[in-house]
Structure 1
Amino acid sequence: MGGPAATALRAPSVWRRDKGMTLGVALLGTMVICALFAPLLGTVDPTAINPVNRLKPPSAEHWFGTDMVGRDLYSRVIYGARVSLIVGLSVAALCALAGLAIGLVSGSIRQLDGVIMRLIDAMMSIPPVLLAIALTALWRGSLVSVIVAVTLAETPSIARVVRGTVLSLRELPYVEASTAVGASMMRIILVHILPNTLPALLVQASYVCASAMIVESILSFLGAGIPPSIPSWGNIMADGRSLWLVLPQIIFFPAAFLSITVLAVNLVGDGLRDMLDPRQMK
């Protein structure tokens, strides 16, 4: 079909895609603003302990209430955005670089493909959360150790995506033609294969970013991640789990911010997938 009728049929799907992407960018941008301007948006020091104000309900003075030692919950949630975004973006960037390198080598060099993929399969057989817990147990809990542990746990997924993309690109006519005229393997990778792996890499990296935020919160909730002295959404929820039935806001607010941030990243990832993959255009 062509003409106005086809355009009318395509319009709803394009509109839905654009709405999701716009919503994701808006939500993610809001969280980034909260993280960047936390000292201005926060009402008090998020680590300040005031036993007199412990377990206060939401009020004009404490918008989200206070926790069991009197710390302002609103300020802690706002500062917690910094930890989640730092972990998510850092893990996504490191996984993209490591996964790209591993995937390019595995997909381009047949002799190494089998060995690398068996190692990747072995790592992927362990759930990322369990692998991250095991790795953080080896090091002292800190922001850097959590980023490294989650990166090691999430890199195999990107490596497999890049490797699959390389294998499909390697069989295309223009790549075979370059090989036939004597182009070096390095030139083929840099000129023909690498640029065409970037769309799939960016999409997968966005999903890894969302997954890393969830894994970091789980680690902090279990006491195996960010130290309790650093405000993070996982730590806040861990502090309030024993008071869930009495003061549900201690868990509700950080969980809501985490859910909104993960939703925003996933919406952006879906939008990138639709824009960069022509097969999604319907």
Structure 2
Amino acid sequence: MSSASVLNPADVPQSAIKAAAPMPDIMPPVKARKGLWGYMYRNPSIAIGGTIVLLMVLMAIFAPLLWTVDPTALAPARRTREPSALYWFGTDMLGRDVYSRVVYGARVSLIVGFAVAVLASAIGLTIGLVSGFVRWADSIVMRVMDGMMSIPPILLAIALMALTRGSVGNVIIAITIAEVPRVSRLVRGVVLSLREQPYVDAAVSCGTRTPVIIWRHILPNTVAPMTVQATYICASAMIVESILSFIGAGTPPIIPSWGNIMAEGRALWQVKPYIVFFPALFLSITVLAVNLLGDGLRDALDPRMAKRI
């Protein structure tokens, strides 16, 4: 073919060129939700659980402003009143307002739950980091933790409370000691997998000291699983506190707590079930909310649980 027969694109008139029709969109455009509402939409468990926990915290803080009376005030003339417009949750066998006692009882459960979660996480994190990274300390520390884990947490807490007098502080200490082995075991397992990573080997080969390696490379990678575990510890601590108070080994009877209220109403359960029902309902809702928050945090912090990769 000669060069003269080759079509030059510049010689083609523009009127002869026709643009192709645009391809239709197979998938509709995705509207990304941003901000707080978008985060809540992507993580409904965190939104629901966090909202309920926040409401419980606000209820405990502003208890005097929520149409309550003195939760310890005795009034034998109005004992065992049924729930009504005057007594929303009724009254107990001593005439105390059950609604006021339930609202004020949230303070004890939330304080115990949050305090045990913070203390057990901090102590267990320290033990787990040391035992997981320092090989010679692992066999010693973990044997102690294994011995403590052989005892159920509730029995260990009861034994520790038997050595002291009943108070909120002693309940926090007893439950913290019972929860520390679980946290240390979790952190140790995470550290054992992290210390074999290439970046840790590179830091060791460069002569980086062990405390610096733990602080810069190991600790940041344990924050996510530790945060999730802390929520479960908080829920477990509230249940254990209620059990201790229910059997008379927890907070003193003069301090209203959900466990104490249920313990005082169990004698009248068949005839006055509302005395036990309302504190048990609030305890169940709070524990469920904390567990929902923990599940949501696990899904949000673990990339393997992400819905979109």
- Measured against the shorter chain, the TM-score band is over 0.9
Whether contact under 8 Å (2:44, 2:296) holds in the other structure is: no
TM-score (norm 1): 0.94
Q: How far apart are the structure 1 equivalents of 2:249 and 2:201?
A: 49
User: Quick check: 210-219 or 186-195, which moved more?
Assistant: 186-195
2:230 to 205, 210, 220: 205
**Per-residue deviation, 1:187:** 1.1
1:11 aligned partner: none
Q: How far apart are the structure 2 equivalents of 1:240 and 1:201?
A: 37
Matched, 1:157 2:182: yes
> Structure 1 residues 251 and 208 mapped into 2: Cα distance closer, same or farther (>3 Å)?
same
Unpaired segments ≥5 residues, structure 1: 9-13
**Per-residue deviation, 1:16:** 8.2
1:182 aligned partner: 207
User: Quick check: 172-181 or 15-24, which moved more?
Assistant: 15-24
**1:7-26 deviation digits (Å, cap 9, x = unpaired):** 89xxxxx9886222111011
Q: How far apart are the structure 2 equivalents of 1:96 and 1:195?
A: 14
> Structure 1 residues 211 and 174 mapped into 2: Cα distance closer, same or farther (>3 Å)?
same
SS of residue in 2 equivalent to 1:177: helix
Whether contact under 8 Å (2:40, 2:46) holds in the other structure is: no
Q: How far apart are the structure 1 equivalents of 2:298 and 2:41?
A: 14
Q: How far apart are the structure 2 equivalents of 1:136 and 1:4?
A: 62
Q: How far apart are the structure 1 equivalents of 2:27 and 2:179?
A: 45
**Per-residue deviation, 1:4:** 5.2
SS of residue in 1 equivalent to 2:125: helix
Matched, 1:22 2:63: no
1:128 aligned partner: 153
Q: How far apart are the structure 1 equivalents of 2:161 and 2:27?
A: 58
Matched, 1:265 2:262: no
Unpaired segments ≥5 residues, structure 2: 1-25, 32-38
**Per-residue deviation, 1:43:** 2.1
Q: What fraction of aligned residue pairs are identical, expressed as a percent?
A: 62
TM-score (norm 2): 0.86
Matched, 1:144 2:173: no
What are the equivalent positions in structure 2 for 1:58-69 lying under 5 Å apart? 58-69=83-94
Q: How far apart are the structure 2 equivalents of 1:157 and 1:253?
A: 31
1:80 aligned partner: 105
Whether contact under 8 Å (1:131, 1:153) holds in the other structure is: yes
Query: Quick one: which amino acid aligns to residue 65 of structure 2?
Result: L
**Per-residue deviation, 1:126:** 0.7
Whether contact under 8 Å (1:203, 1:270) holds in the other structure is: yes
1:103 aligned partner: 128
Structure number with the bigger relative contact order (C-alpha 8 A, sep ≥ 6) is 1
1:35 aligned partner: 60
Superposed CA RMSD = 1.7
